[in-house]
Every structure is written in C-alpha cells, then in structure tokens.
Structure 1
Amino acid sequence: MIFNIIVGFIIPWICLVIAQLPNKLKLVLRVLPISSLMAFLLNDFFVKHGFWIVKPIFDENESYSAIPYNLGLYPVWGIFLIYFIERRIWSPIIFICIWSIGITVAEYVLVAMGRVVYDNGWHITWTLISYIVAFSIVYLYSKSNRKL
C-alpha cells in the first residue's frame, strides 16, 4: 500500500505544488472534484464487476487500494489536462487523446508490474477508451464551470 500512496498520491501532488501554473487554486477547485468523482465512479464500478483490481487488496475491500490514485494521480492528471487545454496550443480532442494515452501507458506499467490485474475480458484498449470518456467528461464539466 505504501507504493500506491507514494506513486498514486504523494508524487502527483508534489508535481502539482511545484508547477508554476497561473490561477492554480481556482483551477484545482474547478477540476479536482469532477476528476476525483470520475476516478471513484469508474474504479469502484469496474472493480465491483471484476474487470480489474489494484493490488494489494487492503482490508478485503478491493477499492481501498485505488484511493491514493483516485485522490492523487487522476485528479492531478485532470488538472494538468485542463490547464493545457485552456492554453489552446492544440484542440481539446488532441489533448484528451494524448493525456489518455499517457495515463494508459502509466497503467500498463502497473499491469506489467502486477500492481493492477485485468480480468473478465478487460484489456489495455478498454482502459484507453475509459480514460478518453472520463477526461472528456472532466473537460466538458470544466468548460461549463470556467467562471469559478
């Protein structure tokens, strides 16, 4: 579980804290809730239905091991996504695809290490699709709440 806390929570938040983003607090307040919500919803739904599991299993509840990622890596990744989309270097679709590929590669490393195990026909392509859907929702929500 220490690995999950360090990789999934501490390192992402350190990266966000040291990043020089203008209006960082407003961005965090706007994106953090929806990013965490998407992470919790997707992880809990798919773990409950046996598509994947994050190891180690903690206290006989498979969802506990994903909490550091749900509160760290995924929301921070979403915050950076929205930051770069709002800088408008490329279109949001391109950024969402690049971000989804990046986080899918990171998850693939965890799968290769045995920290995440897929089952019931789940594979890395489904993972990519789930990230595209989740980040699209985060983007749409953030776009609708830009005034915050």
Structure 2
Amino acid sequence: MIGLFFIKKASRVMLLSFPISAYLGLLFNDIGVAMKWWSLVPSKLESIATLPYSLGLYPVVVSLMYQFVYPKLKATGFIILTAILLTLCELCFMLLGHVDYEDGWNTGWTLVSYMIACCIVFVNMKLLKKVFNVP
C-alpha cells in the first residue's frame, strides 16, 4: 500500500530501484532457502512465501530510503541505515514466527547480506542515473 502511494511521489526512484531491489530480494531469498539458512511460513511453499518480502517490503524500503535518506546522509549512511532498517524488520518477522534462522544463520549475517544488497542497489542506481542522464 505504501508502495502505491510512493510511486506517485518518487516515480523515478521507484523505476530505477525497484527492479534491482526485487531481483536481489528474490535471489538472496532463494539462495537462503536452498542452502537451508532460514525457513519461512508456510514451509512447503517457501519460494512463494518470500514474494511479499522480495516484491514488496525490500524494494519499497530501499526506494523510500534512497529518496528521503540518501540526499541527507550520502552513500555510506544510506547503505548502513537501510540495511539496519531491513534487518530490524526481519528480526520482527522472526520474533513473530514468520522466519526461522537455521544452520548458523543469524541476525548478523542478515545485516551483512542487506549491506551487500544495498551496495549493489546503490551502485546500480548511480550507473542508471549516469547512463540515462536522470537527475
């Protein structure tokens, strides 16, 4: 719902960040499920269970943070703050029983994975802005 509202406020940011954010969300979640680092509810449909996160929460949070936080904190602040926010969201889902960490995975590794993903999104956004000459 927030994503629909936001698309009117910052459609350029959404168009630039949503595809790579969604792709990375799907990729990281599929790898994590396949490696048995975490499981989601319902456990028999884990790839489908990741879709609300990969196609909803992650891209919307990254877009919001890029639009409103990046201009104030620059790259490092954007990456760290976005990764922390997403990690806290995932920690809430874990405490609610929607996500279960397994096989050595923990909140620290979650933060690292989000920092990697945010770095990739940031670099991709910069390249796209440069290539398409978007302010």
Return the TM-score normalized by structure 2: 0.88
How large is the Cα RMSD of the aligned pairs? 1.7
Distance in 1 between the 2:61 and 2:80 partners? Answer: 13
If each structure's helix is expressed as a fraction of its own residues, which one has the higher value? 2
In the alignment, is residue 41 of structure 1 matched against residue 35 of structure 2? no
Distance in 1 between the 2:117 and 2:2 partners? Answer: 22
In the alignment, is residue 103 of structure 1 matched against residue 86 of structure 2? yes
Gap regions ≥5 residues in structure 1:
1-13
| Partner residue in 2 for 1:71 | 55
| Partner residue in 1 for 2:41 | 55
Q: Which of 63, 69, 76 does residue 93 from structure 1 map onto?
A: 76
SS for the counterpart of 1:89 is helix
> What is the percentage of aligned positions where both structures have the same residue?
31
| Partner residue in 1 for 2:2 | 15
* 1:85 Cα offset (Å): 5.0
Residue pair 2:91, 2:107 contacting (<8 A) in 1 also:
yes
Distance 1:28 1:20, change over 3 A: closer
Q: Which amino acid aligns with 1:68?
A: P
SS for the counterpart of 1:117 is strand
Distance in 1 between the 2:101 and 2:68 partners? Answer: 31
Residue pair 1:85, 1:92 contacting (<8 A) in 2 also:
no
Q: Which amino acid aligns with 1:108?
A: L
In the alignment, is residue 81 of structure 1 matched against residue 65 of structure 2? yes
Q: Which of 114, 126, 131 does residue 143 from structure 1 map onto?
A: 126
Distance 1:85 1:142, change over 3 A: farther
| Partner residue in 2 for 1:133 | 116
* 1:16 Cα offset (Å): 2.9
Counting matched residue pairs gives 131
Distance in 1 between the 2:62 and 2:119 partners? Answer: 10
Q: Deviations over 1:103-129 (max 9, x none)?
A: 111111111111100000000000001
* 1:20 Cα offset (Å): 8.3
